[in-house]
Copies of this chain bind each other. A is one copy, B any other.
Amino acid sequence: MPLKPRIEAAIANAIRMGQAGSAPPRLASALDYAVSPGGARIRPTICLSVAMACGDGKPAVADAAATAIELIHCASLVHDDMPCFDNADVRRGKPSVHRAYGEPLALLAGDSLIIMAFEVLARAAAQDPARAIDLIRILGESSGMPGGICAGQGWESESKIDLRAYHRAKTGALFTAATRMGAAAAGEEPDAWTELGARIGEAFQVADDLRDALYDEATLGKPAHQDEINGRPNAVSELGVRGAIRRLEDILSGAISSIPSCPGEAMLCDMVRKTAERLTPVLPAHHHA
């Protein structure tokens, strides 16, 4: 099965299980709303690509890993969009969850998606308990405190920010989770895969900084210039547009050379190059900006 429909089917299946039985209907509907439309599904794509490069011996476990990462990512978007953070009215080109369903259901939808991510992994224990536990451990580390995306977001409430810890946790953690969990789902030692995830995460952060600085809300599908407005660190303000683009290219070559030797090495290099293309073609038009 090609990656995209495989990912969408796994996510839809998880959401359906959260909507079963006597679920409150509006919250059930908000769960679905929060994870769609899918877009690039970049983290689960990376996760499944790594699992496939490692042989993908237990595809149901890899599907669970990919789904869990995306659910956590969607949960973080729902909570980050809320008025006390970015106060974003728009996400994925439609009203953000709290605009569509109200703040109480947005808060609960985020909480429910976080819990659902761990439930999806616990169900994968039917295929392989040891791998399920490894995946739960990695997902926890990457999501919570002291070093996951909650920690990353938490740095924004500090008066003195540890920039390295901030970027590593805020954006990097779910990308390293993606490569590590892809490897762990296929029964490989995850540590060898941390660097690939970290580099893709850095590239993504720089690309996001470029988009935030250069694009408007209509193009982004979400409010623009948020870093500037909120006084957050941004690669464009540090390096300029050209410097940030050079940085992006360097990071992606580093990502490719970090790929551990595995059956699907060539395919993975291709995936990283495609990720790079998806990130960079948006830039030339604004290259001189």
Contacts and interface: CB of A to CB of B under 8 A. Distances in A.
A103 interface: yes
Contacts of A157: 24, 26-27, 101-102, 104-105, 108
B156 A104 contact: yes
Interface in A17-36: 17-28, 31
A60 interface: no
A150 interface: yes
B26 A158 contact: yes
A169 to B, nearest CB: 8
Contacts of A143: 115
A263 interface: no
A200 interface: no
Interface string A74-105: 01000100101100000000000000011111
A145 B107 contact: no
Contact of A145 (B31, B101, B140, B155): B31
Interface stretch (A2-10, A128-136, A187-195): A128-136
27 contacts: A17-B146, A18-B144, A18-B145, A19-B145, A23-B146, A23-B151, A24-B154, A24-B162, A84-B104, A85-B104, A102-B157, A108-B150, A108-B153, A111-B144, A112-B145, A112-B150, A114-B114, A115-B145, A115-B148, A116-B140, A119-B136, A119-B140, A119-B144, A122-B133, A122-B137, A125-B133, A133-B133
Interface of A: 17-28, 31, 75, 79, 82, 84-85, 101-105, 107-108, 110-112, 114-116, 118-119, 121-123, 125, 129-130, 132-133, 136-137, 140-141, 143-148, 150-151, 153-158, 162, 164-165
Given A84-B104, A129-B129, A129-B133, 16 more contacts: A23-B145, A23-B147, A23-B151, A23-B154, A24-B151, A24-B154, A24-B157, A24-B165, A26-B154, A31-B145, A111-B114, A111-B150, A112-B144, A112-B151, A119-B144, A129-B130
